[in-house]
């Protein structure tokens, strides 16, 4: 690697790290799941983690938190994958302009502080593509196997990556012999199966995250998924943003050689259609390096400069909300003050009609040790009512003939421990919403509302 590119890479790493460290926004979509789970693997979480379908990335992050327990550790590791994307693009093209094209992509900076497995998935997807191209050029089996292993990590890191792997194989192997596709599938499955080993070790059930992923996808398409309160994004606004976030010159895609790059274009088309099913900009970081690679084949030298200038303005526009007195900044201030005043207190978090993830959000932002545990309102309520079942999903057969048996398949979510928290009295709620019946306001902070059971307040006043 040329010395100049090494300097570019170091400058890029430093710039992204400072950018992420200065960002006061932390609670990006799904980020609390991964951050709090990483803290759990490091023994730092104070709330239960949500069961979801991607444990590998937080397990990886958690090992570093054991040594350097801070949010910046996670941010640095996250941006490192973006730098590796840029380095790999340079390695593939030997053009520093392509490195800079990705480095100045607005989407790169949007995703820098966003702790999410889509970021490392983007690197391993690009690596799988590069190694496959190396195999096509040199016909060395090592490249073929390595490409499959890299592609399998996309699935292991991120459940929707499983669908992305299928589309990748469809796009690049639809004209190949079946035996070749099956041969490629073996190393893909080998690394994708890492999730089974993690599930078996931590949950005693190798298909835990697979069933969780398939189940959540099924519920989403059946419109039965639990939705966190909030306003859904505008699809029109999403399309406008999509046209700009990878590169302001994305419109020049029509000039890409369709015959030479038919496999790449087919894959990107299929991936885009997949992401449109649940349109979120963050998903596109997985294919952004490949988009940049193809775009570099049609851009002129002066357009690289224009890309950089326009992108810097777009980065300011798209990430302005990351800085200053954000909601996360205020929550951190609130919980730090509460922790100082009520050391050793276990709090209930949440109320009726708010996200069950409020406890996880606070645990994500709080890095102290004064508060031992945060209990979700739902867990507390179930303990009070002596219940154990969170929810149950079932599918039944409905025969139109005189069938002797009826089939019913069901999945039940149960409480994960036998700790009885019914006696807890202190409650925290994010936002000014009505508390549960029987609780009275203790103090209103900037974001957090602190309540206590009325009987407890009465007794405290009597003691005074």
> In the prediction, which pLDDT does 2 show?
78
How many Cβ atoms are within 10 Å of 379's Cβ, its own excluded? Answer: 23
State mean pLDDT over 258-282.
94
Taking 90 as the threshold, does the pLDDT of residue 314 lie above it?
Answer: yes
- Among the residue ranges 150-154, 292-296, 321-325, 392-396, the one predicted with the least confidence is 392-396
Separation CA 425–CA 375 (nearest Å): 11
pTM of the model: 0.92
* Buried/exposed code over 152-181 (b: 16+ C-beta within 10 A; e: otherwise): bbbbbbbbbbbbbbebbbebbbeeeeeeee
- The pLDDT tens digits of the residues spanning 127-174 come to 999 999 999 999 999 999 999 999 999 999 999 999 999 999 999 999
Q: How confident is the model at residue 113 (pLDDT cuts 50, 70, 90)?
A: very high
Residue 392 pairs in a beta bridge with 412
Q: 453 pLDDT exceeds 70?
A: yes
Q: Any idea which residue has 């999903």 for tokens? A: 393
Higher pLDDT, 254 or 220: 254
Q: Map residue 352 onto helix, strand or coil.
A: coil
List pLDDT tens digits, range 82-102: 999 999 999 999 999 999 999
Q: Where are the domains of the chain?
A: 3-195+230-322, 327-463
Asked if 20 and 321 count as a contact pair (C-beta separation under 8 A), the reply is no
CA distances from 64 to 15, 118, 202, 238, 389 (A): 21, 19, 19, 35, 35
Is there a contact between 148 and 124 (Cβ–Cβ < 8 Å)?
no
For residue 221, name the pLDDT band (cuts at 50, 70, 90). Answer: low
Q: Using H for helix, E for strand and C for coil, what is the string for 224-236?
A: CCCCCCCCCCCHH
Helix (H, G, I), strand (E, B) or coil at 386: coil
CA trace torsion 219, 433, 327, 114 (10° rounding): -10
Closest CA to 358 of 367, 369, 347: 347
The 374-376 sheet, strands edge to edge: 374-376, 347-349, 426-430, 448-453, 439-444
Mean pLDDT within 38-66 = 92
Backbone φ, ψ for residue 377 (5° rounding): -60, -35
């Amino acid at each position: 690697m040329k010395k100049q590119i090494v300097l570019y890479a170091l400058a890029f790493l430093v710039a992204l790290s400072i950018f992420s460290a200065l960002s006061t926004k932390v609670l990006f979509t799904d980020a609390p799941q991964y951050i709090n789970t990483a803290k759990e693997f490091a023994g730092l979480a104070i709330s239960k983690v949500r069961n979801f379908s991607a444990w590998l990335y937080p397990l990886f992050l958690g090992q570093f938190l054991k040594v350097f327990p801070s949010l910046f550790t996670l941010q640095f590791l996250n941006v490192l994958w973006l730098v590796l994307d840029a380095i790999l693009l340079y390695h593939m093209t030997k053009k520093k302009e392509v490195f800079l094209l990705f480095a100045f992509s607005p989407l790169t900076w949007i995703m820098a502080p966003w702790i999410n497995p889509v970021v490392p998935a983007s690197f391993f997807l690009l690596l799988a593509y590069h190694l496959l191209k190396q195999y096509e050029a040199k016909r060395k089996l090592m490249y073929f196997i390595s490409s499959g292993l890299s592609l399998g990590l996309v699935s292991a890191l991120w459940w929707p990556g499983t669908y992305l792997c299928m589309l990748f194989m469809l796009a690049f192997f639809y004209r190949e012999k079946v035996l070749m596709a099956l041969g490629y599938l073996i190393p893909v499955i080998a690394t994708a199966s890492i999730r089974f080993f993690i599930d078996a070790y931590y949950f005693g059930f190798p298909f835990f995250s697979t069933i969780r992923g398939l189940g959540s996808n099924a519920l989403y398409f059946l419109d039965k998924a639990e939705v966190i309160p909030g306003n859904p994004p505008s699809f029109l606004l999403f399309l406008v943003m999509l046209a700009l976030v990878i590169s302001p010159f994305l419109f020049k895609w029509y000039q890409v050689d369709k015959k030479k790059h038919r496999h790449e274009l087919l894959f990107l088309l299929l991936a885009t259609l997949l992401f449109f099913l649940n349109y979120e900009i963050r998903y596109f970081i997985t294919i952004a390096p490949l988009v940049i690679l193809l775009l570099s084949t049609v851009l002129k030298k002066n357009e690289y400069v224009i890309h950089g200038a326009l992108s810097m303005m777009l980065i300011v526009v798209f990430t302005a909300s990351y800085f200053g007195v954000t909601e996360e900044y205020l929550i951190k201030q609130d919980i730090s003050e509460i922790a100082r005043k009520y050391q050793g207190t276990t709090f209930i978090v949440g109320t009726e009609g708010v996200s069950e993830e409020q406890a996880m959000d606070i645990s994500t932002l709080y890095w102290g040790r004064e508060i031992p545990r945060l209990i979700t309102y739902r867990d507390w309520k179930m303990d009070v009512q002596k219940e154990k079942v969170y929810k149950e999903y079932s599918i039944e057969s409905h025969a139109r003939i005189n069938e002797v048996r009826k089939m019913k398949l069901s999945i039940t979510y149960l409480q994960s421990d036998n700790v009885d928290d019914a006696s807890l009295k202190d409650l925290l709620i994010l936002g000014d919403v009505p508390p549960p019946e029987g609780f009275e306001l203790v103090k209103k902070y900037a974001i957090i509302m602190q309540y206590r059971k009325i009987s407890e307040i009465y007794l405290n006043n009597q003691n005074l």
